[in-house]
Amino acid sequence: MARGDLVTGNVWEQYSEKVQERMNFPKAMGEFTQADADERGARLIVADFGAESCGDAVRLFWLVDEKTDTILDSKFKSFGCGTAIASSDAMAELCIGKKVDDAIHITNTEVEAFLRDDVDTPAVPPQKMHCSVMAYDVILEAVAQYKGVERSEIENSDIVCECARKTHKDIVDAIREHNITEVEQIIEITKAGSYCKSCIRPGGHEPKDIYLVDILDQVKKQMNQERLENAANNSGNNSFADMTIVQRIKAVDAVIDEYIRPMLIMDGGDMEIVDIRENLPHFDIFIKYLGACGSCASGTTGTLYAIESTLKQKIDENIRVLPI
């Protein structure tokens, strides 16, 4: 059985060898004093962060070259579990040599990935990902102190996935850019929901105000509405009869994506438009069922009626839908 598949058994096998090594022999544990900073002509930054949920705490020390805003060296002290020590150790090492503004982008997912023995096996169990989140939080404290601002000024409060540090905007941008239709695509592309999975849908490790499935549903509706409006604008608000074939396909596609396709996908199927032909006074839309819909008896009865009724209501009452 692979280490990443373990739920019970030897608990140590749920942690990578790199994590175990840094638990016992951290490389960056220690502290810097003002004397150390003066000796290297650097500014000393000492930042603290504590996790209320588990009582762990970490203190981060930076020596920063103010001429270049470069972190010359980094150390930490951790008051917490072994995973917190390993995550803080990796975080401190990753900071060295980076610009202060670049250190903000050292996310907890990067810390966790740094601690993996192989790219496909998580370094720690999902319930311990909060330890690497704490490492990210103390970086924000250090950056805020260096810049002399409140943490809220540099922290994006719109976080949806704490593990991957993905914001609502990150998720929306990915859905639009990649035309995402399934929550699994969000996870694959953004890594949000890859770890503790709490943000995917209700019922996860921790309750959330909003979930990936909610955002996907909202954005898909917005995109489909935009497509409907664009189709209408491009047609000069013409009737379906006056539209070009391209405009008709766009209009039908938009309605299918909004009202029909989600219903089909839930049952393991899908559909595509093959052709639209004038057979006045009717417009015959030829469709092809995909996936489970291709072998479903209701494809010529209830499902077909639902598709045709929706297109008649939303586009033109003379539409007929014919499966092929």
Spatial CB neighbours of 41, under 8 Å, sequence gap ≥ 6: 65
Contact yes or no for 80/131 (Cβ under 8 A): yes
Domain boundary among 214, 234, 254: 234
Spatial CB neighbours of 294, under 8 Å, sequence gap ≥ 6: 269
Q: DSSP for 200-215, please give it.
A: TSTTSSS--SS-HHHH
Asked if 268 and 307 sit in the same domain, the reply is yes
Tens digit of each residue's pLDDT (9 = 90 or more) over 32-90: 999 999 999 999 999 998 765 566 789 999 999 999 999 999 999 988 788 889 999 99
Number of structural domains found in the chain: 3
| pTM given for the model | 0.49
Tens digit of each residue's pLDDT (9 = 90 or more) over 275-324: 999 998 999 999 999 988 777 777 678 888 999 999 999 899 999 999 98
Asked if 150 and 7 sit in the same domain, the reply is yes
Asked if 285 and 248 sit in the same domain, the reply is yes
Asked if 197 and 57 sit in the same domain, the reply is no
Q: 38: domain range?
A: 3-154
| Exposure of 240 in the CB half-sphere (CA atoms within 13 A) | 24
Tens digit of each residue's pLDDT (9 = 90 or more) over 143-176: 999 999 888 777 655 678 878 878 887 898 889 8
CATH code for the domain in which residue 309 is found: 3.30.300.130
Asked if 76 and 30 sit in the same domain, the reply is yes
Domain boundary among 104, 133, 154: 154
**pLDDT bucket at 5, cuts 50 / 70 / 90:** very low
- Mean pLDDT value across residues 231-253: 76
CATH code for the domain in which residue 65 is found: 3.90.1010.10
pLDDT at 232 over 70: no
Asked if 170 and 267 sit in the same domain, the reply is no
Asked if 261 and 170 sit in the same domain, the reply is no
List the catalytic residue out of 95, 131, 196, 293.
131
Domain boundary among 154, 177, 209: 154
Asked if 150 and 213 sit in the same domain, the reply is no
Active site residue 131: yes
Asked if 123 and 175 sit in the same domain, the reply is no
Q: DSSP for 86-111, please give it.
A: HHHHHHHHHHTT-BHHHHTT--HHHH
**Predicted pLDDT at 104:** 81
Asked if 277 and 183 sit in the same domain, the reply is no
Asked if 36 and 109 sit in the same domain, the reply is yes
Q: Give me the amino acid identity at 221.
A: K
Active site residue 196: no
Asked if 83 and 191 sit in the same domain, the reply is no
